Amino acid sequence: MEVLRLIGKSGACILSRARSASACRRQTGPTPLSLLQQKRHYAESGNHIMVERDSNNEGIAVVKMNKKPVNSLSKDFMMEMNITLEKLENDSSCRGVILTSANPGIFSAGLDITEMYQKSSDYTSAFWRSLQDFWMRLYGSNLATVAAVNGHSPAGGCLMAMSCDYRIMAEGKFTMGLNEVHLGIVAPFWFQELMVKTCGERQAEMALQLGTLFKPEQALRIGMVDEIAPLDDVINKAREHLAKWLKIPDHARVITKGMCRGLLLEKLRAKQEEDIAFFSEFINKDAIQKSLGRYLESLKKK
Amino acid sequence: MEVLRLIGKSGACILSRARSASACRRQTGPTPLSLLQQKRHYAESGNHIMVERDSNNEGIAVVKMNKKPVNSLSKDFMMEMNITLEKLENDSSCRGVILTSANPGIFSAGLDITEMYQKSSDYTSAFWRSLQDFWMRLYGSNLATVAAVNGHSPAGGCLMAMSCDYRIMAEGKFTMGLNEVHLGIVAPFWFQELMVKTCGERQAEMALQLGTLFKPEQALRIGMVDEIAPLDDVINKAREHLAKWLKIPDHARVITKGMCRGLLLEKLRAKQEEDIAFFSEFINKDAIQKSLGRYLESLKKK
Amino acid sequence: MEVLRLIGKSGACILSRARSASACRRQTGPTPLSLLQQKRHYAESGNHIMVERDSNNEGIAVVKMNKKPVNSLSKDFMMEMNITLEKLENDSSCRGVILTSANPGIFSAGLDITEMYQKSSDYTSAFWRSLQDFWMRLYGSNLATVAAVNGHSPAGGCLMAMSCDYRIMAEGKFTMGLNEVHLGIVAPFWFQELMVKTCGERQAEMALQLGTLFKPEQALRIGMVDEIAPLDDVINKAREHLAKWLKIPDHARVITKGMCRGLLLEKLRAKQEEDIAFFSEFINKDAIQKSLGRYLESLKKK
């Protein structure tokens, strides 16, 4: 059966927990106020990720990225994110995740440019693999995932948001988009196909060629986000929306998610080494390194 | 040539009548009033399907589902629907079909749950095959098909509507959507791909995961229906729209339709046995049977 | 690496110039007035195509189709268009193209019907090949391309517009669409897939079956065009928009474009001979020839 085959191949995460998951369904009940009072915090390694769980049986974890100053995606941070998601995936008391930022004004600045500048080919290869692995974990997660985009979300930040099941973006001056092309960097096929799946082929092609950063209303119009909310309400709205997801029997929700996402996950898995080799060779070209150098200089001057 | 190959393989229905079809084009002329006066009714086997033809040369058949109380899709009813469509397909005086309901307030409640509850594996296999065969007949029909959705249209009802060439939905409290997931049932790949083709990937993934039932305005916004009309005007609007389809030379319309639909038809045809085996095994799992049992109990209490 | 492989195979045009292109980036500066004063015209063979270049370093060429009366796409005209684009592609001072018409009220009437009527199979085959070659050149161009649709744009005219990176359509009574089906002609798979990529599957299937010609507001709504402007402002708007494209480093823009377009280009390249054989056989059928004959008669009477 293709469905099962695809899901089976698309990794450990999809379906493995689904079989017995319907048993662990429970009611959501508490008001946001009671949740606030009951919540307990614990920090992951290095204080870069805060995971907030509720002491009731709601089944939701809020994952707050807290890597100063802009949640840039370094190799180590992506490995931490991957481990954090894996733990939640294996925690039978957790059924849904809200992904958000603890750093005001920024969801994530995307890939850490310093990790691609004047590094060995081995390093950039390991860096890219950590991105792939983190992305396959997030996009292929059995958990219901909602992005509470509470700040700017360019490049890899946009990728993370688009990989969740639902996106709520804060109103205001924030922008979101795959803008890599401005630095001379080409978004790989899986960034591109994810954007096509999210926004449609026409909008994706244009936005990828122009590296467009969208304001919240624009992002909503093209389907890059599903909802807009005032900044201080984004996480509450995410919680409300996630509750809808958790009303669905887990096994049926997870198999359905796998059918929608399995092909793209499978495609990256099949081409993972090629994709790494391509990135590593591309990013270490003289012209690209010079472009990154100029960009890093311009950041220092700010 | 791929086009012909696809169309050829995608079944008896597409293209077989197209070759000589341009010869049988004729003018549409009569007003709705004259049609009303001229129409003759005849009932198919078991009174479950009423087919209204006009005595003029308009070429339109109105197929009214009349299986009390909610046009639920049982094995026998789907076989009758299949035969009805096949007859019209082979009737050179018929070029277009309006699919609608004779039961007030409901287009179709979708698959008959009692056909999947406490049945043998052989029975559920035969049941699923009758759904596949009916769907391939409807989705791959050479006839121009318009759904006049004059009532609720969940699950298999939504599938039937999305398989027509055009959908008009009645204003009001009615809803439409693939909501199987609420019962723990996973929509098979061809339901899913049809919804992606109709509503786009983003909306389809979200609606399939959440089992969303859409109100008419929402269904229009996401492309699940093409038009909304007052309840008592739905069939007239369908007739008006179908007239546009019948202005196109049949051979060119049918080949174009086959190019748009051939791949998905071909895919199901290639996987038909796998799809049956998967459904039959899935639906007979203890957990799913218990879920169906609870649902049937809750219906009895109403 | 699939990306490179696809781009490599998809023809001489994509990527060949990209490698050194980032070096030739330059600033856009002059106002439309200064451009007007500085521009030089030169005519291509036969006066059917006017190419306007600016004497400054803006890097934009305006290609004006000037085949009286309606820029119909004859074999020779398509070969001229192909050569014109190839020259610009190989001209390192050119980075972007505006495609528009010098004939008032019409962008292009599409394929020249007289080229398909009572011709030998060899001739119709050569005719179709010239369309394929021209289309692959335009759709796969390394240049940033903007269509300034300053008049009606049916059939092949719509195809040209949809093959550019961006489309601006003039306000007013003009229409655009793939309306071949009205003549009994079936749009080939690459027309169809291009329309699906541009407008989405639902709108494409419906419009292709009905041969719909869209007014500017409708074309904007379904994504067939990206912008609407007053007729006398269409080229200025195209120039403004193209400037955005030219701010992107060429190599990254071109690789991104190739990733979005490579598969469809590759598919036609692989099926080019089949597609020619199918067209040539189809168009020379008696029924189709009669239909074309009646259409040409009706044109004469006007």
- Given an 8 Å threshold on Cβ–Cβ distance, is C278 in contact with B223? no
**pLDDT number for residue A21:** 36
**pLDDT number for residue C46:** 54
**Averaged pLDDT for residues C102-113:** 97
**pLDDT number for residue B38:** 40
Tens-digit pLDDT profile for residues C202-252: 999 999 999 999 999 999 999 999 999 999 999 999 999 999 999 999 999
**pLDDT number for residue A88:** 97
**pLDDT number for residue A244:** 92
- Between A48 and B37, the more confident residue is A48
At A55, the pLDDT band (50, 70, 90 cuts) reads: low
**pLDDT number for residue A302:** 74
pLDDT exceeds 90 at position A1: no
Judged by a CB distance cut-off of 8 A, whether residue B22 touches chain C is yes
**pLDDT number for residue C55:** 67
Tokens 């080949």 locate to: B255
Tell me the two tokens of residue B277.
Answer: 């085996």
At B12, the pLDDT band (50, 70, 90 cuts) reads: very low
Which residues, 6+ apart, have CB-to-CB distance to A105 below 8 Å? A151, A152, A174
**Averaged pLDDT for residues A212-225:** 98
Q: Which of B138, B145, B186, B135 is nearest to B168 (CA)?
A: B145
- Given an 8 Å threshold on Cβ–Cβ distance, is B274 in contact with A1? yes
Tens-digit pLDDT profile for residues B50-86: 999 876 768 999 999 999 999 999 999 999 999 999 9
pLDDT exceeds 60 at position B250: yes
Judged by a CB distance cut-off of 8 A, whether residue C182 touches chain B is yes
Provide, as residue numbers in chain A, all residues whose Cβ is less than 8 Å from the Cβ of B184.
22, 249, 251-252
pLDDT exceeds 50 at position C38: no
**pLDDT number for residue A13:** 40
First to last CA, chain B: 56
**pLDDT number for residue B301:** 86
Q: Which domains does chain C have, with CATH numbers?
A: 2-300 (3.90.226.10)
Q: How far apart are CA C236 and CA A196, in angstroms?
A: 30
CA distance C270 to chain B (A): 11
- B181: nearest CB among A197, A199, A248: A248
What count of residues does chain C have?
A: 302
**pLDDT number for residue B55:** 67
C191: phi then psi, degrees, rounded to nearest 5: -60, -50
Kindly report the three-state secondary structure assignment for every residue of chain B: CHHHHHHHHCCCHHHHCCCCHHHHCCCCCCCHHHHHHHCEEEECHHHCEEEEECCCCCCEEEEEECCCCCCCECHHHHHHHHHHHHHHHCCCCCCEEEEEECCCEECCCCECHHHCCCCCHHHHHHHHHHHHHHHHHHHCCCCEEEEEECEEEECHHHHHHHCCCEEEEECCCCCEECCHHHHCCCCCHHHHHHHHHHHCHHHHHHHHHHCCCECHHHHHHCCCCCEEECHHHHHHHHHHHHHHHCCCCHHHHHHHHHHHHHHHHHHHHHHHHHHHHHHHHHHCCHHHHHHHHHHHHHHHHC
Judged by a CB distance cut-off of 8 A, whether residue C273 touches chain B is no
CA distance C186 to chain B (A): 6
**pLDDT number for residue A138:** 98
CA distance C63 to chain A (A): 22
Q: How far apart are CA A57 and CA C125, in angstroms?
A: 70
**pLDDT number for residue A6:** 31
- Going from the C-alpha of A250 to that of each of A18, A54, A253, B196, B208, the distances in angstroms are 6, 20, 5, 22, 13
Q: Which of B302, B278, B301 is nearest to B288 (CA)?
A: B278
Q: Answer yes or no: are the C-beta atoms of B81 and B134 closer than 8 Å.
A: yes
pLDDT exceeds 50 at position C95: yes
State the angle between helix axes of A189-199 and B201-210 in degrees (0 to 180), rounded to the nearest 10. Answer: 70
pLDDT exceeds 60 at position B95: yes
- The interface pTM score, or ipTM, of the predicted complex is 0.85
**AA letter at B182:** H
Which residues, 6+ apart, have CB-to-CB distance to C24 below 8 Å? C59, C92, C93, C95, C250
Tens-digit pLDDT profile for residues A151-173: 999 999 999 999 999 999 999 99
pLDDT exceeds 80 at position A178: yes
**pLDDT number for residue C58:** 82
Tell me the two tokens of residue A162.
Answer: 């688009």
The yes-or-no answer on residue C180 being catalytic is: yes
C192: phi then psi, degrees, rounded to nearest 5: -60, -45
**AA letter at B294:** R
| B window 136-175, beta carbon within 8 A of C | 165-166
At B21, the pLDDT band (50, 70, 90 cuts) reads: very low
Tens-digit pLDDT profile for residues C122-136: 999 999 999 999 999
A69 upstream amide cis, omega within 30 of 0 = yes
CA distance B222 to chain C (A): 11
**Averaged pLDDT for residues C47-54:** 90
B interface mutation test: which of C178, C185, C186 has the most B CBs within 10 A? Answer: C186
At A212, the pLDDT band (50, 70, 90 cuts) reads: very high
pLDDT exceeds 60 at position C78: yes
- B186: nearest CB among A2, A245, A256: A256
At A46, the pLDDT band (50, 70, 90 cuts) reads: low
**pLDDT number for residue A43:** 43
Q: How far apart are CA A231 and CA A241, in angstroms?
A: 16
First to last CA, chain C: 56
SS3 of residue A16 by DSSP? helix
Give CA torsion, residues C78, C82, C87, C90, to 10 deg.
170
- C189: nearest CB among B3, B249, B257: B3
- Given an 8 Å threshold on Cβ–Cβ distance, is C260 in contact with A187? no
Q: How far apart are CA B243 and CA A214, in angstroms?
A: 42
Tokens 């693999």 locate to: A129
- Given an 8 Å threshold on Cβ–Cβ distance, is A2 in contact with B186? no
Provide, as residue numbers in chain B, all residues whose Cβ is less than 8 Å from the Cβ of C295.
none
Q: Answer yes or no: are the C-beta atoms of A241 and A229 closer than 8 Å.
A: no
At C25, the pLDDT band (50, 70, 90 cuts) reads: very low
The yes-or-no answer on residue B111 being catalytic is: yes
Residue C147: Cβ within 10 Å count = 30
Tell me the two tokens of residue B108.
Answer: 């179709």
pLDDT exceeds 60 at position C14: no
Tokens 């492989």 locate to: C5
**pLDDT number for residue B26:** 32
Looking at every residue in chain C, the average pLDDT score rounds to 87
**pLDDT number for residue A32:** 36
- Between C286 and B23, the more confident residue is C286
- Given an 8 Å threshold on Cβ–Cβ distance, is A260 in contact with B204? yes
Q: How far apart are CA C126 and CA C131, in angstroms?
A: 9
Neighbour-count burial for A221-248, b at 16+ CB within 10 Å, e otherwise: ebbbbbbbbeeeebbebbbbbbbbbbeb
At A29, the pLDDT band (50, 70, 90 cuts) reads: very low
Looking at every residue in chain A, the average pLDDT score rounds to 87
Kindly report the three-state secondary structure assignment for every residue of C129-158: HHHHHHHHHHHCCCCEEEEEECEEEECHHH
**Averaged pLDDT for residues B175-203:** 96
The yes-or-no answer on residue C33 being catalytic is: no
Provide, as residue numbers in chain B, all residues whose Cβ is less than 8 Å from the Cβ of A257.
205, 209
- B223: nearest CB among C202, C274, C278: C202
- Output the pTM of the full model: 0.88
Q: How far apart are CA A229 and CA A239, in angstroms?
A: 13
Tell me the two tokens of residue C46.
Answer: 């036969």
Judged by a CB distance cut-off of 8 A, whether residue B85 touches chain A is no
CA distance A24 to chain B (A): 13
Tens-digit pLDDT profile for residues B208-240: 999 999 999 999 999 999 999 999 999 999 999
- Given an 8 Å threshold on Cβ–Cβ distance, is B165 in contact with C287? no
**pLDDT number for residue B295:** 93
